[in-house]
Amino acid sequence: MIDRRDFLKTAVVTTSVAAMMSSGAAFADNQSFPGVVYTKKQPGQWAKKVGSHAPEVTVDGSKVMLVTRHGMSAEHYIVRHTLVLGDGTVVGATTFTAADKPESSYDLPANYKGVVYATSFCNKHDFWVTELSV
């Protein structure tokens, strides 16, 4: 079960990132938040963790699937996924327990074309973002 502190940290980070992304700037590779937000291109101190922490995204029509290839244990797990549109609109979020698989899916708004941000938050290795255009 997620504890209150982890939930609050995740909520604050998710809200902050959604607000930052709404600025319209290319966010995922922006150096404005080093050590706060990590990407495949900018993994910071977690360079060896990219494959198991950056969310993988697949799109099938209007369905977007997120997978974080990460083991799940009580000590170390993916806490949450979110999918955010380029304007900062949160499409959806999924909170995980250590017993869950870090996989989630979301439906894009009808006829949406543009940037989406997939996020994955690890309880030990911070907040990761994958940006793509759909």
Which sequence spans correspond to the domains of the chain? 4-133
pTM (two decimals):
0.76
CATH for 4-133 is 2.60.40.730
Measured in whole angstroms, how far is the alpha carbon of residue 3 from the centre of its chain?
19
pLDDT score at 93:
98
pLDDT of 17 > 60? The answer is no
> Per-residue pLDDT tens for 28-83?
555 567 778 889 898 888 888 888 889 999 999 999 999 999 889 999 999 999 99
Assigned token pair, 27: 């966010």
> Per-residue pLDDT tens for 74-125?
999 999 999 999 999 999 999 999 999 999 999 999 999 999 999 999 998 9
User: Which residues neighbour 19 within 8 Å (Cβ) at sequence distance 6 or greater?
Assistant: 88
